[in-house]
Structure 1
Amino acid sequence: MKAWLVVLLGFSISLSAEALSLCVEDADYLPLLLKQDIDGRSGLLPDIARAAAAEHAEPVTLLRHPWKRCLAMLRKNQVDAIAAAFWSSERDAWGAFPKANKRAQSAPDPELRLWREEYRVFVPLAGELRYDGQQFSGIKTGLGAPPGYVVWHSLKKAGVLDETVRSVKIGLQLVALNRLDGYVSERSIGLNMLRTLGLTEQVKLLPQTYYEDDSYLVFSHQFRQQNPQLTQAIWQSLPAIREQQLRKLLAE
């Protein structure tokens, strides 16, 4: 009887009623995101999340939308999870993060992160923009960043955002033409885009990191409440899978 109970409990932890719906940004942000699957790969972020779910026999349905829509859908419990988002105490109101302890306002456990993201400022090779780690100087046209991102809001608050420049691709092209002071992008995404566009000789990175933080696989509160063991199990599977993917990335 006890053996059967263990089997049944294990089954209830591993499976939710339906496939987990995961929303990611609809963008080609290699190596983190792909706009369309290539050879079964969707980019590091969804691939890690999907592999963690697969360890617990949980299928994943991947949805690609503009990032602001992913956030809105999670708030409304229209998707089960998003990949990936930075944590703030305000965001606890609409998303379930992997907490280090049971206190509602505590920070997430960094070991259970999906990825560590570093945002850098990409500028023209002979540009005049400077950043001292606190403030910008030499502003003429402003800086761009992906809409809805934490760095976008930070630039806007600082009064240096050019809201007309939206995508990483267009932003870096304008930087290369010296028509935009700078563009803030996740480092690996920006460097990959420069190689793709053939702009590595026209654009450089400022030495200071603009923003760096852990990003998380965030579940909707509804999914977390309905599947508490499953969500915790998926989070617990992330560290080993993340390290495997990082080693593969470094080897490429």
Structure 2
Amino acid sequence: MRRSPRFLLAACLLVSATAQAAKQDSITLCFERQDVRPWRTLDGGGLNFELLNEVARRTGITFDYQSMPWKRCLEQLRSNQVDGAFAVSFTRDRIGLGAYPGVVPNTGAAVADPQADPNKRMHTDTYVLVRRRGSALDWDGKTFRNLDGRIGFQLGYSVGDFLRLQGVALDEGSQRPDELAEKLIAGRLAGAAMGGGDAIRMLRGPLGSKLEVLPVPLVEKPYYLVLSNSWVTRKPQLAATLWDAIEQVRTSPGYRQRERDYAAAARRKRVDTGLAAQAKGGGSH
């Protein structure tokens, strides 16, 4: 059946409008190019992706995930080259990086002590202190003891702000946790600050027999979906909808059960490898 030019034009306009709407509802999010269990893996597994995929289902938004080195991800967020990044902890120095839930730049409202809204977090996680097996280095939750050398941490990670406040010598020249572990074993570092999940992975790996994790965490932090300033300026209501959806999914019975499932699996792995008494926690930055 032959269609009229007017019908074909209308069909083309409809297709174009649909494609444009789909484009507008697609958000590019960057994340660190490495596995950080239980939160995310490079093949799209982990709790972060489960949470965001459910948010996408509820809101009709499409997320375009892009992995890259962490510092590059943050710089692309700052320069509005991506629409958002996850999972990002909050520090005052990162306020200009993008918009956190509860801390949206350029709103005209001056806040003396801005803080991201922890109710809108994606998850909470810890950093731990790793030392060479047999080292006397210690951390009691307030003070480092027997520290003879530098504490290493990964480039761009917010735990660096915490360590600087402790007044200790630092090394932030490593991109990956295995680089930190190798420096530690070689005696180039006195200790290493790692996300809990990374520390557990190191202990289970080939270097594990030479490492120890101290039981008291260095710091615990909430982690967020941070959206670019440009994107939030254009779509403030949609940004609020996304952050609200993150809270709703994270507190839902189904997602909480998934968190318990991951935690139970991690405990079994620690028991299987004899690590239950050495390490606790998850991992992020």
Matched to 2:178, the amino acid is K
2:223 to 212, 215, 224: 215
Q: Could you tell me which residue of structure 2 aligns to residue 129 of structure 1?
A: 137
Q: Structure 2, unaligned stretches of length 5 or more?
A: 1-20, 266-285
Q: Structure 1, unaligned stretches of length 5 or more?
A: 1-13
Q: Could you tell me which residue of structure 2 aligns to residue 171 of structure 1?
A: 180
How many Å separate the matches in 2 of 1:33 and 1:144?
Answer: 23
Report whether the alignment pairs 1:82 with 2:99. Answer: no
Distance 1:17 1:104, change over 3 A: farther
Q: Could you tell me which residue of structure 2 aligns to residue 58 of structure 1?
A: 61
Distance 1:219 1:16, change over 3 A: farther
Q: Which runs of 4+ in 1 moved over 6 A?
A: none
Q: For residue 134 of structure 2, give the secondary structure of its aligned residue in structure 1.
A: coil
CA RMSD of aligned residues (A): 2.7
How many Å separate the matches in 2 of 1:218 and 1:164?
Answer: 25
Q: Could you tell me which residue of structure 2 aligns to residue 203 of structure 1?
A: 211
1:108-154 CA-to-partner distances (Å, cap 9, x unmatched) read: 22111011011110112211112233332323342211111111344
Matched to 1:45, the amino acid is N
Q: For residue 207 of structure 1, give the secondary structure of its aligned residue in structure 2.
A: coil
Structure number with greater Rg is: 2
Report whether the alignment pairs 1:187 with 2:190. Answer: no
Q: How many residues align?
A: 234
Q: Please report the TM-score for the alignment, with normalisation by the length of structure 1.
A: 0.80
Distance 1:153 1:89, change over 3 A: closer
Distance 1:175 1:46, change over 3 A: same
Please show how residues 149-164 of structure 1 align to structure 2 within 5 Å: 149-156=157-164, 158-164=167-173
Answer whether contact 2:154 2:172 (CA < 8 A) is retained. no
1:38-71 CA-to-partner distances (Å, cap 9, x unmatched) read: xxx3433344233313321111111111111111
Answer whether contact 1:118 1:209 (CA < 8 A) is retained. yes
Which is further off, 93-102 or 141-150? 93-102
How many Å separate the matches in 1 of 2:135 and 2:74?
Answer: 35
How many Å separate the matches in 2 of 1:113 and 1:49?
Answer: 12
Please report how far the alpha carbon of residue 24 of structure 1 lies from its aligned counterpart in structure 2 after TM superposition. Answer: 0.5
Report whether the alignment pairs 1:29 with 2:17. Answer: no
Please report how far the alpha carbon of residue 96 of structure 1 lies from its aligned counterpart in structure 2 after TM superposition. Answer: 0.9
Which is further off, 132-141 or 227-236? 132-141
Q: Could you tell me which residue of structure 2 aligns to residue 235 of structure 1?
A: 243
Q: Could you tell me which residue of structure 2 aligns to residue 6 of structure 1?
A: none
How many Å separate the matches in 1 of 2:141 and 2:32?
Answer: 28
Report whether the alignment pairs 1:95 with 2:95. Answer: no
Answer whether contact 2:199 2:213 (CA < 8 A) is retained. no
Q: For residue 162 of structure 1, give the secondary structure of its aligned residue in structure 2.
A: strand
Q: For residue 115 of structure 2, give the secondary structure of its aligned residue in structure 1.
A: coil
How many Å separate the matches in 1 of 2:198 and 2:92?
Answer: 27
